[in-house]
Amino acid sequence: MPKLDFWYEFASTYTYLSVMRIEDLARDAGIEVRWRPFLLGPFFKAQGWTTSPFKEQVEKGRYMIRDMERICAARGLSFTMPDPFPQLSLYAARLALIGADEGWAGRFSRLVFTEQFAGNIQLEDKTALGTCLSAIGLEADELLTRIETPEIKQRLRRQTDDALALGLFGSPTFVTEDGELFWGDDRLEQSISWSLEKASS
């Protein structure tokens, strides 16, 4: 079964669109999704930015909100702009890293993104993240303790370094087994088609 690496940042608006549909699309295509949470902050810093480009560029930020409103309406998704934006995504990313090992990253990510963009939770709120973990049947306390261990902190740093080494610069990014990068929810279908073509050739 072809594998598709899904690199994603929890604070990213456009990533919400892909989180909510990638597993269905991939399953229909016979492709395995590998959930790869990482942090965009280090990329922004490397550009000399202090925050998201949607804050750095006012017009682009305004447009992004309208674009998200239109797309979410068409797909039947709630959309409330997080405040503050971007949210602190560190804890959610560390949890998803464990989830990727244990097979629950997809369920957890869909719930956290849904709650974030319904305006129900702040990503920095560990109690709220714990509620999400419990809601999908996991041991919240144990997991929230684990994300404070040096091992998990270090693994997220390494995974973010790996993203940088791959040439990533934004989220969502889909990377095929033969190393093709596809950036943005608009390229999700294309990344799946590419994976299928390579697998059959």
By CB atoms closer than 10 A (0-12, 13-18, 19+), residue 192 is buried
Tell me which residues touch a copy of itself (CB under 8 A).
Answer: 47, 56-57, 59-60, 62-63, 66-67, 70, 167-170, 180-184, 186-187, 190
User: Cβ of residue 157: shortest distance to a copy of itself, in angstroms?
Assistant: 19
Question: Rounded to whole angstroms, how far apart are CA atoms 71 and 78?
Answer: 10
Beta-strand ranges (E) seen in 78-193 are 173-176, 181-183
| Smaller CB separation from a copy of itself, 62 or 157 | 62
Element (H, E) at 35: strand 32-37
| Smaller CB separation from a copy of itself, 125 or 186 | 186
Q: Is 182 helix (H, G, I), strand (E, B) or coil?
A: strand
Structure tokens at 7: 């690199």
| Smaller CB separation from a copy of itself, 47 or 145 | 47
User: Cβ of residue 187: shortest distance to a copy of itself, in angstroms?
Assistant: 8
User: Cβ of residue 36: shortest distance to a copy of itself, in angstroms?
Assistant: 17
Rounded to 10 deg, the angle between the 188-200 and 22-29 helix axes is 20
User: Cβ of residue 110: shortest distance to a copy of itself, in angstroms?
Assistant: 24
Question: Rounded to whole angstroms, how far apart are CA atoms 36 and 23?
Answer: 13
| Smaller CB separation from a copy of itself, 56 or 162 | 56
| Smaller CB separation from a copy of itself, 69 or 148 | 69
Residue in 31, 34, 33, 54 with CA at minimum distance from that of residue 44: 54
User: Cβ of residue 131: shortest distance to a copy of itself, in angstroms?
Assistant: 36
| Smaller CB separation from a copy of itself, 46 or 118 | 46
Residue in 138, 169, 53 with CA at minimum distance from that of residue 147: 138
Structure tokens at 41: 């902050």
User: Cβ of residue 186: shortest distance to a copy of itself, in angstroms?
Assistant: 4
